[in-house]
């Protein structure tokens, strides 16, 4: 009885909960491939998404080097043509399938992850290659401006410039926008930006590994800080968290509708259909759930996928059945929404 008492959580008067130390087992609901990957983590160094390298050029090179083996595998599995160019005055990667052509009437804009400061073009290719090849669709990945050189709304301005230029060749209802992590948050910002800047709304958006409210809001970032360690935990005392964006939102109000439209029902009411993807071990779980619920309250068609035992942006891992399932769901969503 005494052991059971000590193992129970303690509920404090301010609503906080003191959780006793525990061991979290691998879920019995994940694939054997995902379970094997979890077991491998015992021998792998922890990936630190916050990054301790002061020189942003070095950090960007580190991320690209980290992604390089995965990109090599993806290009071997999913043959694509990658063309570097400009659209609307913004650098892009134009990614199309090698064989059989692609849908001439539809296009997807990809906004890469990387905490608003890294990810071009390593993360961009990881996000674009499987979608272009499996979806038989053109994917335009945007090199939007990032920190520390730039501040919000630089990134969403670049997305709008590319979108505006693509309107010369595509109907707005046939243009989809998607992204993971920072790119997922930027996707939500883009939907808000288009509606408030006299541009026709896109046909659909995909917000993956993110939400329309800041990372770190809600419970999931705190819990994930104990079970994953890739991202720093928000301080329990409410003090300022580690800024992994390197100042991208410096001077921006946390309720700014152009940055975080999830707080503003009147802005969400102008959103197109949305697909939101997260996982039970993802630091973005709370923002994703909140954004989904707010979109439903605003009478917007929203679908939410929460994958059991999966972490941040698990859809990058197409070798896992869960990752492949997510890609198939993403493609199915855009096929239907951009019809």
pLDDT of residue 233: 84
Question: Which of residues 298 and 234 earns the better pLDDT score?
Answer: 298
> Interior CA angle at 194 toward 302 and 243, to 5°?
80
pLDDT digits (tens, 9 = 90+) for 182-225: 999 999 999 999 999 999 999 999 999 999 999 999 999 999 98
pLDDT of residue 2: 45
Structure tokens at 45: 């160094």
pLDDT digits (tens, 9 = 90+) for 270-279: 999 999 999 9
pLDDT digits (tens, 9 = 90+) for 215-268: 999 999 999 989 888 888 888 777 778 899 999 999 999 899 999 999 999 999
Residue 199's contacts (CB-CB under 8 Å, 6 or more residues apart) are 160, 163, 164, 167, 172, 193
Average pLDDT, the chain: 94
Determine contact, residues 93/141, Cβ cutoff 8 Å: yes
Residue 163 within a domain: yes
Residue 128 within a domain: yes
Counting residues of the chain whose pLDDT is more than 90, the rounded percentage is 86
* Owning domain of residue 113: 29-337
Helix 122-135 and helix 321-337, axial crossing angle in degrees, nearest 10: 70
Residue 243 within a domain: yes
pLDDT digits (tens, 9 = 90+) for 7-64: 899 999 999 999 999 999 999 999 999 999 999 988 877 666 666 688 999 999 999 9
> Interior CA angle at 223 toward 147 and 329, to 5°?
70
Determine contact, residues 310/34, Cβ cutoff 8 Å: yes
Q: What is the CA radius of gyration of the chain?
A: 20
Q: Rounded to an integer, what distance in angstroms lies between the CA atom of residue 184 and that of residue 16?
A: 30
Helix 122-135 and helix 56-77, axial crossing angle in degrees, nearest 10: 20
What is the distance, to the nearest Å, from the Cα of residue 181 to the centroid of all Cα atoms in its chain?
A: 3
Q: Rounded to an integer, what distance in angstroms lies between the CA atom of residue 30 and that of residue 11?
A: 31
CATH code, domain with 108: 3.40.50.1820
| Of 148, 198, 199, nearest in space to 177 by CA | 199
Residue 15 within a domain: no
Q: Rounded to an integer, what distance in angstroms lies between the CA atom of residue 94 and that of residue 81?
A: 8
pLDDT of residue 338: 98
Residue 121 within a domain: yes
Residue 55 within a domain: yes
Determine contact, residues 109/204, Cβ cutoff 8 Å: no
pLDDT at 3 over 80: no
pLDDT of residue 278: 98
99-120 burial, b if ≥16 CB within 10 A, otherwise e?
eeebbeebbbbbbbbbbbbbbb
Residue 11's contacts (CB-CB under 8 Å, 6 or more residues apart) are 17
Residue 244 within a domain: yes
> In total, how many domains does the chain have?
1
pLDDT at 300 over 60: yes
Residue 49 within a domain: yes
Would you give the end-to-end CA distance of the chain in angstroms? 61
> What is the helix, strand, coil percentage profile of the chain, to 5?
40, 15, 45
């Amino acid at each position: 009885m005494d052991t059971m008492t000590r193992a129970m959580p303690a509920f404090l008067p301010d609503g906080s909960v003191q959780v006793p130390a525990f061991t979290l087992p691998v879920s019995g609901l994940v694939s054997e491939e995902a379970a094997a990957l979890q077991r491998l983590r015992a021998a792998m160094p922890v990936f630190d998404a916050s990054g301790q390298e002061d020189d942003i050029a070095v950090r960007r090179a580190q991320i690209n080097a980290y992604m390089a083996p995965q990109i090599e595998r993806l290009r071997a599995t999913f043959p694509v043509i990658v063309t570097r160019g400009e659209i609307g005055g913004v650098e892009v990667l134009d990614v199309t399938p090698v064989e059989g052509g692609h849908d001439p009437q539809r296009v997807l804009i990809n906004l890469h992850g990387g905490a608003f400061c890294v990810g071009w073009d390593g993360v961009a290719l990881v996000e674009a290659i499987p979608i272009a090849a499996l979806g038989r669709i053109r994917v335009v990945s945007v090199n939007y401006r990032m920190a520390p050189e730039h501040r919000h709304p630089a990134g969403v301005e670049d997305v709008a410039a590319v979108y505006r230029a693509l309107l010369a060749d595509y109907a707005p209802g046939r243009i989809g926008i998607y992204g993971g992590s920072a790119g997922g948050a930027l996707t939500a910002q883009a939907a808000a930006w288009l509606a408030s800047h006299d541009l026709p709304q896109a046909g659909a958006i995909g917000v993956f590994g993110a939400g329309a409210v800041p990372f770190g809001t809600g419970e999931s970032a705190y819990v994930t800080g104990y079970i994953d360690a890739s991202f720093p935990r928000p301080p329990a005392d409410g003090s300022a968290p580690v800024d992994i964006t390197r100042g991208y939102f410096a001077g921006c109000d946390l309720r700014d509708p152009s940055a975080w439209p999830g707080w503003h029902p009147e802005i969400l009411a102008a959103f197109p259909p949305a697909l939101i993807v997260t996982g039970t071990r993802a630091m973005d779980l709370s923002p994703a759930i909140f954004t989904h619920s707010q979109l439903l309250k605003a009478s917007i068609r929203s679908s939410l996928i929460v994958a059991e035992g999966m972490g941040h942006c698990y859809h990058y891992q197409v070798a896992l059945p869960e990752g492949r399932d997510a890609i198939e769901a993403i493609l199915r969503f855009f096929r239907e929404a951009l019809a």
